[in-house]
Amino acid sequence: IVASVYTIEIVEPLGIVAKKRFQDLGYDNIRTTIGDGYHGWPDEAPFNAIIVTAAVKKIPTALIDQLAEGGRMIIPVRHSDLRYYLVLVTKKNGEISYKKLIPVAFVPFTRNTD
């Protein structure tokens, strides 16, 4: 589907298992790192698409900054009604737009506090 996939996992045992599973399945285009995904992967940016699979209270600016022109990000975000919604973030002509999609339940986004 795409040339390259980059994935960040903060929970080390999960990251190790994921990396091994991708290798065992022959997915040689998936790069896995263990760390805090809040700042994304700036050395590999920009990205055409970013998928965040943990809920945030505020969309990390670093992730928005790493979107390529025409890029999209899907991310679960807490809103003023205290529910979480999938939000589609799009970058077009240098402008960022946000579209609230559907209510969802995701694990909270965790940060590395070391």
Q: Each residue of 24-76: pLDDT tens digit?
A: 999 999 999 999 999 999 999 999 999 999 999 999 999 999 999 999 999 99
Query: What is this structure's pTM?
Result: 0.90
Q: Would you say residue 8 has pLDDT above 80?
A: yes
How much is the pLDDT for 67?
98
Give the closest residue to 57 by CA, choosing from 73, 76, 38, 81. 76
Tell me the one-letter amino acid at 45.
A
- Domains identified in the chain and CATH numbers: 1-35 (no CATH), 40-114 (3.40.50.150)
Spatial contact of 72 and 52, defined as CB atoms under 8 Å apart: no
How much is the pLDDT for 113?
59
